[in-house]
Structure 1
Amino acid sequence: MRQTDLPGFLGRFYTLFCLLLLSGLAGCGKRFSHSVRQVPAPVPVAATVPDYTDSTLTLAAGEHYGRSRLHTFLYGKHYRSVWTTPVEVPVLDIGTAYGGLEPLQMGGSRQTINLRLQDSTGTEYVIRSLDKEPASALPKRLQKSYLADFIRDATSATNPYAPLALPAMAEAIGIHYLEPELVFVPHDPRLGEFMDKIGGTMALLERRPAKDQSDYDPMGNASKVKSTRSAITERLTDNDSHFDARLFLRSRLFDMLLGDWSRHEDNWRWAEEEYSDKAYVYRAIPRDRDNIFFKMDDGPVPWLLQRLGVKPHFQSFHKRISASRLEKLNRSGRNLDELILARLSWQDWQQIADSVQQALTDEVIEQAFTALPDTIHALTAASTISKLKSRRDALPQMARSCYATLAKKVQVVGTDKHERFAVEVQPNGGILVRVYKMHKDKEVQQLLYERLFHSSETRTLELYGLGGDDVFILSGDARPGMKIKVWGGSGEDHYEANSPKPASRLQIFDSKYRNRLEVPRKAKVKLSNEQNVQTFNAEGWLLRYYLD
């Protein structure tokens, strides 16, 4: 921090301190302990199973989010009225739902109470509590503190019923999706050991994206659904396998329309399709849509926290979003974006953005929101629909902004098999990159990757060979309009450059072990046996990702 910035920083800090002090006083007398349960267990708990046929219950998802005027002024209105408004909810009968469901195990993050169940065919479902307990991530001694209440209250920035509106829109734009349904989980003795943890809870019930989904169209009728760890491992260890980048981009553009800031690696699953012997393509299945249509900056405390840089990716859902805010919104998904979308040109982005925009008509959007409970639709639908339509109209500009951010530095990542990277410098300084599958004897087998990079878009081009014996050929007579950085990784690699002009912007990083370099002196070569493990092979590269 520059010295001249200090007074402004101290002023903002003092303002924040005063706001937190006032809000602390506003919350005095509250009991800082919570449960995601809406209905406490009866005393005594029924030993027999009641008849839940066609039963419903009318209750609010989170009465505790209704706060004093002072508290609401300081922290914002958020979706407090949504949380405190009663809705009619079907009571879940696990004995008859989907032919009967058997509880398996608790799961999920520390914030959401999850219960996995399965039907008689082995198809799994998951119950996810509507309310959250983010303060459970705090040290135990702080879980009943004012700080816990502060963090818990931020859940009111989300609309708990919003995921119900997504299936119709996702189907219209041609991406995979889940179909959540709103249920109330009673204190049912058939829940067994799990009754105390999830009984009395409003929740979303949906298919669990795992295993065999061949009978389920929303997940692409995939015979196998894999975790992100499994899909990335396959992609990095075998150059016959790849991600469906175009479908992934459709999903990511939908994320941006929804304002979904939580798209880290664990919030995806992948429909696996074997298209040749032991070669797979992975198609994205988004999951965990808890943070769409976020409303956080309508109070002075959260507004100031954002200005101080606290959780910058927590971007509120507005009609318009600037390029800088869009970049922050996409921050949690950046790792997957860089790996998967690196093969797509701007023409690809433009084509897909136009397609998504045209498919998401006013009628599709308006019909999708009829899936919300009537009382919630009356409270939120008009405002949310208006903002969503505005963002849809601006989707080509949003796509261009996101593309420009990713294009500044592009990573072309190989595998632990053998690849040939052909880097051809164009007369205008652009670079054409082709990556080929290569046999052990250096014979080229097939083209795996091709993209033309423009100096007006890209500043740095990074090539990673990972494992295997790779070949990097730099050709052309012009000086590149961008830096070219190459990490050979493990294996015995071969580097070749036929002219000093392209080599002047070439940097090579590899080990001292049995690599062959035929490059001009102008190339910058750094050989060391202490390379960063993340650039060494597939196993090291996996350390870059947030994986369960």
Structure 2
Amino acid sequence: MSFLRPVYIFFSVLILSGAAACSGRFTHSVQQVPKPQRTSPIAPDYRDSTITLAAGPHYDRSRLYTFFFGKHYRKVWAAPVEVPVLDIGTAYGGLEPLQMGGSRQTINMRLQDSTGTEYVVRSLDKEPASALPERLQQSLLADFIRDATSATNPYAPLALPAMEKAIGINYLEPQLVYVPHDPRLGEFVDEIGGAMALMERRPTDDQSDYRPMGKAPDVKSSRSAITERLTDNDSYFDARLFLRSRLFDMLIGDWSRHEDNWRWGEKAYAEKAYVYEAIPRDRDNIFYNIDDGPVLWLLQRFGVKPHFQSFKRSISASRLEKLNRSGRNLDELILAKLEWQDWQEIADSVQHALTDEVIEQGFTALPDTIAALSAAPTIRKLKARRDDLPQMARNYYKALAQKVQVVGTDKHERFEVTSQPNGDVLVRMYKILKEGDVQQLLYERTVRASETGVLELYGLNGDDIFLFSGSAKPKLKIKVWGGAGEDTYEAQDTGIAARLHLHDSEYRNTLHVGKKADVDLDNDQQAQTFDAEGWLLRYYLD
């Protein structure tokens, strides 16, 4: 289909060139109810109040439009739903608005109760066109981008807690609310008043009293957790728990699992040593339905937003890899220590825990009107994907295993790589003192040549030791970036040395690797291979 690419480019340029000239009739608001002309300074009593309204009647388009652009979840968005009204004076004992926040697409507001526990309300409708230049935000192109929001079911996150609890992962508990034009919102009333929203406990600070977040005494951002992992080799991520969460992501078709959509429960297991447990957040892009119209189907065939994968009964290996694109960096860092046996055990466990009854129970949390419109087909697809989970796990494991990364820290590590007679290599990484004395085994995995083409070792900062042994020549490449610090390399046998590719600076490193190793000494190394601060550049961090 490459011959059609010029047509696609021409079509895109045509839209972009004409979009800026379009009229302002494509205005959009994430607030379902406009601000009344007159408001009372006295706060009404909203306790036990409800309101009936639709989340997005503007997504209900003509038959001709939906024929070309897809039915998506338009009927769900247009369906009136009875929603509890949020009374900030009484909810959770009384809430104080703190600040507005959120991404470009979502309006959210943080609130705090009398104990200091924070909550967040996040608008149900989105405004993705706000990422466009201002001159295009009232254009036909903006309207097209906004309309893609109808590919999501805005109520879908309500169905997840029962399933997440059953499979043993951390989770949030969203509830549907309507935020009124309440004078107690103060300066924020114009931004969030009149909006349907999902309200949930904010994953931050001390959650030791809250089981859904694993009773974590402290919850950290991805930036904080990754920084701790890369700077101190006493801290690590709970890889098995993270894999459980990631397999659930794949089951529900969540394509937006970038770093900022995770928080981490920090638990101390020794003095200044922590384990980080995954807490997924922002489940706006699950059970997606994007390609049921020819226009968006064609755009996907041309590679536009390939990770926007529709939720179907099954998913091929190539589509699964695309679905996981935004989460790939974290997967490569955290899941590298797990071999296929670990994946198989966890996939089987998740599959068995996610029974038909658990799945069906989850969807009872949707409003009745929405459940009648969308639950049955989604449940059927989810059960089919559940039944196929071991194969899905195998497919993604194979994709990650093609390149295995073993990442050290800014402290001192000793890497031992031993070739096996069958062409595999055994990799161990130890925590060491500056003098080289071994303190603790940090990592161990047999990297199999039948699965892996390249093994990459990153020492980052610190004085690291790399020891390579084995007379058998590995059937995979071994690439090493020593990073900062004074590093030592030793290859005791010519077999493994022939597969080595070493990269380091010319500054005070010791190399005893023979002539067969490929050695590149260059003081102008990429920042991402140098130390923890450089490695952080790989990630999408807030």
Q: TM-score, normalized by length of structure 2?
A: 0.98
How far off its partner does 1:70 sit? Answer: 1.2
* Other-structure match for 1:327: 321
Residue equivalent to 1:60: 54
What SS does the aligned partner of 1:412 have? strand
In the alignment, which residue of structure 2 is the partner of 1:255?
249
In structure 1, what is the Cα distance between the partners aligned to 2:176 and 2:464?
52
Question: Could you say which residue in structure 1 is the equivalent of 2:466?
Answer: 472
Alignment of 1:134-533 (within 5 A): 134-533=128-527
Distance in 2 between the 1:354 and 1:395 partners? 8
Kindly provide the amino acid, as one letter, of the partner of residue 493 in structure 1: D
Deviations 1:370-423, CA, capped at 9 Å, x for gaps: 000000000000000000000000000000000000000011000000000000
Does the 8 Å contact 2:24/2:139 carry over to 1? no
Letter matched to residue 503 of structure 2: F
Which residue identity is paired with 2:499?
R
- Give the Cα–Cα distance (whole angstroms) in 1 for the partners of residues 190 and 515 of structure 2: 71
Q: Distance in 1 between matches of 2:272 and 2:538?
A: 25
Q: What's the CA shift for 1:544?
A: 0.7
Question: Amino acid of the residue matched to residue 49 of structure 1?
Answer: A
Q: Cα distance, 1:74 vs. partner?
A: 1.0
**Per the alignment, in what secondary structure is the counterpart of residue 466 of structure 2?**
strand
Distance 1:532 1:288 in 2: 33
Q: Relative to structure 2, which stretch is displaced further, 65-74 or 242-251?
A: 65-74
The DSSP-based 3-state class of the residue aligned with 1:348 is helix
Deviating more after overlay: 243-252 vs 496-505: 496-505
Give me the whole-angstrom Cα distance separating, in 2, the residues matched to 1:153 and 1:66: 10
Q: Deviations over 1:13-52 (max 9, x none)?
A: 678899x79xx9xxx9882111100001111112211121
Contact (CA 8 Å) 1:16, 1:301: kept in 2 or not? no
Describe the SS at the equivalent of 2:268. Answer: strand
Residues 430 and 441, structure 2, Cα contact 8 Å, conserved in 1: yes
2:121 corresponds to:
127
Equivalent position amino acid for 2:372 in 1:
A
Alpha-carbon offset, residue 9 of structure 1: 3.1
Aligned with 1:462: secondary structure?
Answer: strand
Using the alignment, how far apart are the partners of 1:14 and 1:385 within structure 2?
40
Partner letter of residue 124 of structure 1? Answer: E
Give the Cα separation in 1 of the matches to 2:472 and 2:3: 50
Q: Distance in 2 between matches of 1:484 and 1:539?
A: 24
Residue type at the aligned position of 1:59: L
Residue identity opposite 1:464 in structure 2: Y
* Contact in 1 for aligned 2:23/2:139 (Cα 8 Å): no
**Structure 1 unmatched ranges of 5 or more:** none
| Residue deviations 1:480-507 (CA, integer Å, cap 9, x gap) | 0100000000000000001111111100
1:182-218 Cα shifts (integer Å, max 9, x gaps): 0000000000000000000000000000000011000
**Aligned position for 1:9:** 5
Unaligned runs of 5+ in 2: none
Deviation larger for 42-51 or 508-517: 42-51
Task: Give the CA deviation at 1:71.
Answer: 1.0
Over 3 Å counting, the alpha-carbon distance change for 1:110 and 1:14 in structure 2 is closer
SS at structure 2 position matched to 1:371: coil
Mapped to 1, the partners of 2:233 and 2:13 lie a distance apart of 54
**1:256 positional shift:** 0.1
- The aligned amino acid for 2:232 is D
Structure 2 residue matching 1:72: 3-state secondary structure: helix
The SS at the match of 1:47 is coil
| RMSD, aligned α-carbons | 1.6
* Paired residues of 2:409 and 2:531 also in contact (CA < 8 A): yes
CA distance in 2, matches of 1:244, 1:136: 36
Specify the SS of the correspondent of 1:355.
helix
Q: 1:12 and 1:536, CA in 2 relative to 1: closer, same or farther beyond 3 A?
A: closer
Q: Distance in 1 between matches of 2:306 and 2:374?
A: 25
Matched position secondary structure for 2:36: coil
Query: What amino acid does structure 1 have at the position aligned with 2:3?
Result: P
- Which deviates more from structure 2 when the two are superposed, residues 68-77 or residues 207-216? 68-77
Q: What is the CA distance between 1:11 and its match in structure 2?
A: 5.4
3-state SS, counterpart of residue 410 of structure 1: strand
- TM-superposed CA distance for 1:8, in Å, is 3.8
8 Å Cα contact 1:16/1:304 also seen in 2: no
Q: Matches of 2:226 and 2:492 in 1, distance apart?
A: 34
* CA distance in 1: counterparts of 2:70 and 2:3, whole angstroms: 27
2:82 corresponds to which residue?
88
